[in-house]
């Protein structure tokens, strides 16, 4: 799809993607905002969903917990402090900065603070459910009487007489203002199993001038049991080869750049192309992304979430290695003599060199 025969235009009708710029926040006030993407916004999602949260200076994501899933988070900008209360009195406090991630178990109470008094902090929370259910601390406490709360904390009931959140209104995700600077313990920057510095790791998959993939998966982050994330960068001369993920659901967030994706959906429909720009979200499919901004090719940066701790991957490239030339000729409807020489690969490259000019968007 083009405008004046040159500029690619997004296919806004695609069921595989959503533009975050077109999505209204589920919560917004002077303290920050929350965008939410579940099956309500992208019906084809399965096992995964996303929240994008912006905390203004000195603001806090109210303590909450997911009752039906665990979650991982990626800090897009800023510096944060995470506090968690998990089963068996497991209490943690640790910092998470731009390019780092954190994990929370299902049912674990957690909060995220913006430690800055001057700049906002933005992060993504990927929940391991297409429609996560959550409780906030204030709304949960509001369900109980002053006497129950006072007995819980061994205080007089008069202490809670001015407690305000009691209401019949349905609970909403909230961002609250902190009074004073963040209280950051001296050991909050020490190594912690719930934090993972994905952008600081040496990329397990790397090809100079083509791209790289940094992998937050169980192989490197031991706490993961049913979820993972790849930080995928594709340079202007690179392309993610056509591939699929057996027994795995994929959800991608476009952090930077402008990409084209060709997708064959799970119903076996003929592949169609969509344009995705930052910030954008795409659902599962049989895909190959490539960097293709008309008139100005730039690198792209994907954050790709999976519903498996060790995502499986099968790429087209090695089909040329394992299949005989006669099999390939029959499959492609060509004569064997017409087939090119295919590269022999013992290991799938994941990202390949884009030798040919990108096809027009159709």
Evaluate whether residue 180 is within a structural domain: yes
Where are the alpha helices (H) located in 77-223, listed in sequence order? 137-141, 146-152
Is the domain of 276 the same as that of 138? no
Give the range of the structural domain holding residue 144, as residue numbers without chain letter: 31-191
Is the domain of 149 the same as that of 35? yes
Is the Cβ–Cβ distance between 325 and 334 less than 8 Å? no
What pLDDT is recorded for position 204?
Answer: 95
Evaluate whether residue 41 is within a structural domain: yes
The alpha carbons of the chain give a radius of gyration, in whole angstroms, of 23
* Domain limit, last residue, from 191, 210, 234: 191
Q: Which residue has the higher pLDDT, 202 or 316?
A: 202
pLDDT, tens digit, 9 for 90 and up, residues 299-338:
889 999 999 999 999 988 999 999 999 999 999 999 999 9
Is the domain of 162 the same as that of 238? no
pLDDT, tens digit, 9 for 90 and up, residues 64-115:
999 999 999 999 999 999 999 999 999 999 999 999 999 999 999 999 999 9
Q: Report the predicted TM-score, pTM, of the whole model to 2 decimal places.
A: 0.89
Is the domain of 217 the same as that of 250? yes
Is the domain of 156 the same as that of 269? no
pLDDT exceeds cutoff 90 at 152:
yes
Evaluate whether residue 168 is within a structural domain: yes
**∠188-195-279 over CA atoms, to 5°?**
115
* Domain limit, last residue, from 175, 191, 207: 191
pLDDT exceeds cutoff 80 at 205:
yes
Evaluate whether residue 298 is within a structural domain: yes
Is the domain of 74 the same as that of 134? yes
Evaluate whether residue 230 is within a structural domain: yes
Is the Cβ–Cβ distance between 209 and 237 less than 8 Å? yes
Residue 312: count of CB within 10 angstroms of its CB? 11
Q: Which residue has the higher pLDDT, 192 or 1?
A: 192
CATH code (residue 307): 2.60.120.10
Is the domain of 173 the same as that of 214? no
| Spatial separation of the C-alpha atoms in residues 223 and 300, rounded to whole Å | 28
pLDDT, tens digit, 9 for 90 and up, residues 277-307:
555 555 554 444 444 443 346 788 999 999 9
Evaluate whether residue 5 is within a structural domain: no
Is the Cβ–Cβ distance between 247 and 223 less than 8 Å? no
pLDDT exceeds cutoff 80 at 26:
yes
Is the domain of 74 the same as that of 149? yes
Q: How many domains does the chain have?
A: 2
Q: What is the mean pLDDT of the chain?
A: 85
pLDDT, tens digit, 9 for 90 and up, residues 121-135:
999 999 999 999 999
Is the C-alpha dihedral spanning 36, 40, 44, 46 positive or negative?
A: positive
* Domain limit, last residue, from 164, 191, 218: 191
């Amino acid at each position: 799809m083009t405008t004046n025969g040159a500029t690619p235009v997004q296919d806004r009708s695609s069921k595989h993607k959503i533009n975050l710029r077109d999505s209204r926040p589920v919560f917004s006030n002077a303290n920050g905002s929350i965008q939410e993407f579940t099956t309500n916004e992208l019906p084809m999602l399965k096992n995964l969903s996303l929240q994008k949260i912006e905390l203004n200076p000195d603001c806090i994501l109210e303590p909450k917990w997911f009752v039906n899933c665990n979650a991982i988070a990626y800090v897009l900008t800023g510096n944060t402090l995470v506090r968690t209360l998990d089963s068996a009195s497991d209490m943690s406090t640790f910092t998470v900065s731009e390019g780092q991630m954190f994990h929370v178990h299902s049912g674990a109470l957690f909060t995220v603070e913006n430690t800055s008094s001057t700049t906002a902090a933005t992060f993504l929370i990927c929940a391991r459910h297409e429609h996560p259910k959550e409780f906030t601390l204030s709304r949960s406490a509001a369900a109980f009487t002053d006497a129950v709360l006072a007995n819980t904390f061994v205080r007089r009931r008069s202490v809670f007489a001015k407690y305000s959140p009691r209401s019949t209104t349905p609970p909403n995700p909230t961002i609250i203002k902190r009074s004073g600077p963040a209280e950051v313990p001296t050991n909050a920057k020490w190594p912690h199993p719930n934090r993972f510095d994905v952008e600081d790791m040496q990329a397990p998959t790397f090809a100079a001038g083509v791209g790289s993939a940094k992998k937050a998966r169980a192989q490197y982050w031991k706490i993961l049991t049913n979820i993972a994330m790849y930080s995928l960068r594709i340079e202007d001369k690179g392309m993610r080869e056509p591939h699929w993920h057996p027994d795995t659901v994929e959800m991608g967030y476009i952090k930077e750049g402008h990409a084209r994706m060709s997708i064959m959906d799970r119903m076996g429909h003929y592949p169609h192309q969509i344009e995705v720009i930052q910030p954008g979200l795409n659902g599962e499919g049989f895909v190959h992304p490539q960097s293709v901004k008309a008139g100005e090719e730039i690198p792209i940066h994907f954050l790709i979430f999976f519903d498996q701790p060790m995502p499986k991957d099968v790429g087209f490239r090695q089909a040329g290695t394992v299949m005989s030339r006669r099999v390939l000729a029959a499959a492609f409807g060509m004569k064997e003599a017409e087939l090119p020489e295919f590269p022999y690969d013992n290991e799938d490259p994941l990202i390949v060199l884009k030798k040919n000019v990108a096809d027009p968007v159709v």
